[in-house]
Amino acid sequence: MTIEASPGSRMKLGLALGLLLVLVAAVPAVAEERVSLSGSVNYSRGDYGTDEDTTLLYVPFTLRVRPTERLTLGVTVPYIRQTTQAVVFTGGGVARRGDQERRVEPRRTEEGLGDILVKGEYVLLREGLVLPEIAGAVKVKVPTADEDRGLGTGEFDETIGLGLGKTLLPRLVGYLDLAYTFVGSPPGEQFDNVFAWSVGAAYLLAQPVTLFAFLDGATAVAPDQDDPLELRAGAEFKLTRAVRLTGSGSVGLSDGAADYGASAGLAFRF
């Protein structure tokens, strides 16, 4: 299909490139191996509590820089493809649209630039003998996606979060992530703010393979949507000191989540 960029889309693309250039400008100022570039392909399919299945393809590219030992800054530029207009991406997850009876061409497939994510993370406490490592995070979803084509809401979303990590055994690390997202509601919708959590562990099976499993849950974005809950598991392969390959699969445990999903990613550290 041919995609024609509207003036609004071109302006948003310019904003996206501007945000990326700001972060890239900081790269020469940081030390060696404090810069990483990653990309992944994320496929999922489910009805999210609607009357039709939606296939989502989410392909984010992320640049991260670590100006100090405790501070990490990142920007994510995603590509999105979705096969229906029954759901929409938000900063708090995939939301069921509340105006289904008013939608035209519900099976219309759309693709293009998604909403850019800008994130900052700071390590508040280093891991000790008893205490876990604790990191605080702030994330902003910038409305760069075309809301007229159903690729975004056209609203800013802000997330604050807390992440904990603790070495439980010599090869086993446990994780707990908590986040609260202030979700902007577009005209005609009344979205709720979202509390999300994730608990899991990673186990170093043998160099260079690490296995991981997580249970991810959240409150629903849309008032008439079930709270999403899914189980995710996979493996990370450390190909070299600077290159990592990740693969995972997921299964939905509630009507508010995708029925199933798969992901593959590649990360480079400089």
What the block records as the tokens of 56 is: 């989502």
What one-character DSSP code corresponds to residue 43?
A: E
Structure confidence at residue 107 (pLDDT): 74
CATH number for region 7-269: 2.40.160.40
Report which of 157, 45, 49 is spatially closest to residue 100, judged by C-alpha positions. 49
- Residue by residue, pLDDT tens for the chain (270 residues) are 444 445 555 555 565 556 555 555 555 555 556 899 999 999 999 999 888 899 999 999 999 999 999 999 999 999 999 999 899 999 999 999 876 544 555 578 999 999 999 999 999 999 999 999 999 999 999 999 999 888 999 999 999 999 999 999 999 999 999 999 999 999 888 999 999 999 999 999 998 999 999 999 999 999 989 999 999 999 999 999 899 999 999 999 999 999 999 999 999 998
Structure confidence at residue 50 (pLDDT): 87
Structure confidence at residue 1 (pLDDT): 41
Report which of 68, 73, 218, 89 is spatially closest to residue 144, judged by C-alpha positions. 89
Domain coordinates in residue numbering, the chain = 7-269
216: which strand partners?
198, 230
Which residues, in sequence order, are CB contacts of 45 under 8 Å at separation 6+? 53, 54, 55, 56, 258, 259, 260, 261
Structure confidence at residue 159 (pLDDT): 98
Are the C-beta atoms of residues 266 and 38 closer than 8 Å to each other?
Answer: yes
Burial-class residue 95 by CB neighbours within 10 Å (0-12, 13-18, 19+). Answer: buried
Cα–Cα distance measured from residue 153 to residue 226, given in angstroms and rounded to the nearest whole number: 20
Are the C-beta atoms of residues 172 and 203 closer than 8 Å to each other?
Answer: yes
Structure confidence at residue 108 (pLDDT): 84
Cα–Cα distance measured from residue 77 to residue 22, given in angstroms and rounded to the nearest whole number: 13
Are the C-beta atoms of residues 5 and 225 closer than 8 Å to each other?
Answer: no
Cα–Cα distance measured from residue 200 to residue 244, given in angstroms and rounded to the nearest whole number: 20
How many H-runs (helices) and E-runs (strands) does the chain carry?
1, 15
What the block records as the tokens of 106 is: 């519900």
Structure confidence at residue 5 (pLDDT): 46
Q: Is 247 helix (H, G, I), strand (E, B) or coil?
A: strand
Question: pTM of the predicted model, to two decimals?
Answer: 0.87
- Whether the bond into 170 is cis, omega within 30 of 0: no
Torsional class of 112: left (φ above 0), alpha (ψ -120 to 50), beta (otherwise): left
